Structure 1
Amino acid sequence: MSATSSTQDKGSVVFNAQKINHSYWDIYLDSRPTYSSAFYDLIYDYHTKAGNNRWNLAEDIGTGPGNAAAVFSKRFDKVHASDPGDTHVEVAKQRLARDGIANVTVYKANGETISQTGITSPGTADLLTVAEAIPLMDAPKALNSFSEVLAPGGTLAIWFYGRPIFVDPVSQSCATTKAARCQRIFDEICIRAYSRIRPMKGTHWEQTTTRLFSWLDDLELPESTWGKVQRRKWNADRPLSFYDEAACDHAVVTKYQQRDDEERYDVADRSFWSKTWNIEGVKRFIGVLLPQFTEQFAQEIGTDQYYAELERAMGGPDGAMQITWPVVLILATRK
Structure 2
Amino acid sequence: MALSSTQDLETPFTTAVLGSDVDFWRSYIAGRPSPDESFFHLINEYHSSHGQSKTAIAHDVGTGPDNIAQRLLAYYDHVVGSDLNDQALAAAPALIPSELYKRTTFIKSPAEALASGVVPNGVGLGKTDLITVSECIPLLDAPKALDAFHELLRPEGTLAIYFYGRAIFAEGDIHTLNAIYDAIATRICTFLLPFKGTPGFPFHVRGAEALVSRLDNIAFPSESWKGVERYKWNYDYPLLFNSKEGYDFDFEPVDRRAEGEKTIEVIDKQFWAKEWGVEEVKTYLDSVYPNWQKKAGARSTEVDELLEELRNALGGGGSKKKVTFPVVLILATKK
Q: TM-score, normalising length from structure 1?
A: 0.90
Q: Is the 8 A contact 2:228 2:330 kept in 1?
A: yes
Distance (Å, rounded) in 2 between the aligned partners of 1:13 and 1:7: 12
Letter in 1 for 2:142: A
Name the count of aligned residue pairs: 321
Q: Compared with structure 1, are the counterparts of its residues 33 and 258 closer, same or farther at alpha carbon in structure 2 (3 Å cutoff)?
A: same
* Inter-partner Cα distance in structure 2 for 1:51 and 1:71: 23
Give yes or no for the alignment of 1:148 onto 2:151.
yes
Task: State the 1:9 CA deviation.
Answer: 4.7
| SS at 2:306 equivalent | helix
Q: Is the 8 A contact 2:187 2:303 kept in 1?
A: no
Secondary structure class of the residue paired with 2:52: coil
Classify the secondary structure of the residue corresponding to 2:187: helix
Deviation at 1:234, TM superposition (A): 0.2
Aligned to 2:174: 179
- Cα offset for 1:158? 0.1
- Output the amino acid matched with 1:165: I
Identity among equivalent pairs (%): 32
Q: Specify whether residues 15 and 241 from structure 1 end up closer, same or farther in structure 2 by C-alpha distance, changes over 3 A only.
A: farther
Residue of structure 2 equivalent to 1:275: 274
Per the TM alignment, residue 199 of structure 1 is displaced from its structure 2 partner at its CA by 2.3
Query: Shift of the alpha carbon at 1:121?
Result: 2.9
2:132 paired residue number: 129
Which digits, 9 at most, give the CA deviation of each residue in 1:6-46, with x for residues without a partner? 98358689742532233x33332222111110000000000
For residues 39-92 of structure 1, give each alpha carbon's deviation from its aligned partner in whole angstroms, at most 9, with x where no partner exists: 000000000001420111111100011111111112212111111111111112
What is aligned with 2:317? 317
Deviates more, 1:86-95 or 1:139-148: 86-95
8 Å Cα contact 1:232-1:328 kept in structure 2: yes
Q: Distance in 1 between matches of 2:309 and 2:253?
A: 33
Find the counterpart in structure 2 of residue 67 from structure 1.
Answer: 67
Structure 1 gap ranges (5+): 1-5, 170-177
1:122 partner letter: L
Distance 1:333-1:163 versus aligned 2 partners, 3 A rule: same
Q: Which amino acid aligns with 2:17?
A: N
* 1:95 corresponds to: 95
Corresponding residue number in structure 2 for 1:21: 22
Task: Report if the CA contact (8 A) 2:188-2:303 is conserved.
Answer: no
CA distance in 2, matches of 1:12, 1:29: 14
Question: Is residue 190 of structure 1 aligned with residue 190 of structure 2?
Answer: no
Whichever residue aligns with residue 19 of structure 2, its letter is: Q
276-285 or 145-154, larger mean C-alpha shift: 276-285
Which shows bigger deviation, 81-90 or 191-200?
191-200
Q: Equivalences for 1:3-22 in 2 at 5 Å?
A: 8-9=9-10, 15-16=16-17, 18-22=19-23
Q: 1:284 to 1:154 in 2, by over 3 A?
A: same
1:99 is displaced (CA, Å) by 6.2
Is the CA contact 2:168–2:324 (under 8 Å) kept in the aligned structure 1?
Answer: yes
Distance of aligned partners of 1:13 and 1:34 in 2 relative to their CA distance in 1, 3 Å threshold: closer
Q: How does 1:1-335 map to 2 (within 5 A)?
A: 8-9=9-10, 15-16=16-17, 18-22=19-23, 24-98=24-98, 100-116=100-116, 117-119=118-120, 120-168=123-171, 178-195=173-190, 196-200=192-196, 202-297=201-296, 299-301=298-300, 302-335=302-335
The alignment partner of 1:203 has SS state of helix
Pair 1:9–1:79, CA change in 2 (3 A): closer
Whole-angstrom CA distance in 2 between matches of 1:31 and 1:127: 26
Specify the code of the residue in structure 2 equivalent to 1:198.
P
**Is contact 1:14–1:293 with CA below 8 Å preserved after alignment?**
no
Does the aligned pair in 1 maintain the 2:18–2:85 contact within 8 Å? no
Residues 187-217 of structure 1, C-alpha deviation per residue, up to 9 Å, x if partnerless?
1121122222322475210111111000000
CA contact (8 A) 2:11 2:204 kept: no
Shift of 1:297: 1.8
Cα distance in 1 for residues equivalent to 2:18 and 2:297: 17
Q: How far off its partner does 1:261 sit?
A: 0.6
Which range moved further: 272-281 or 325-334? 272-281
> Could you say what secondary structure the match of 1:197 adopts?
coil
Contiguous gaps of at least 5 residues in structure 2: 1-6
Match of 1:3 in 2: none
2:269 partner amino acid: R
**Structure 2 CA distance for aligned equivalents of residues 314 and 25 of structure 1:** 28
Shift in alpha-carbon separation, 1:187–1:51, aligned structure 2, 3 A? farther
Question: Structure 2 length normalisation: TM-score?
Answer: 0.90
What is the DSSP-based 3-state SS (H/G/I as helix, E as strand, rest coil) of the residue aligned with 1:58?
A: strand
SS in 1 for 2:96: helix
- Is the contact between residue 14 and residue 290 of structure 1 (CA under 8 Å) also seen in structure 2? no
Secondary structure in structure 2 of the residue aligned to 1:35:
coil
Query: More deviation in 301-310 or 6-15?
Result: 6-15
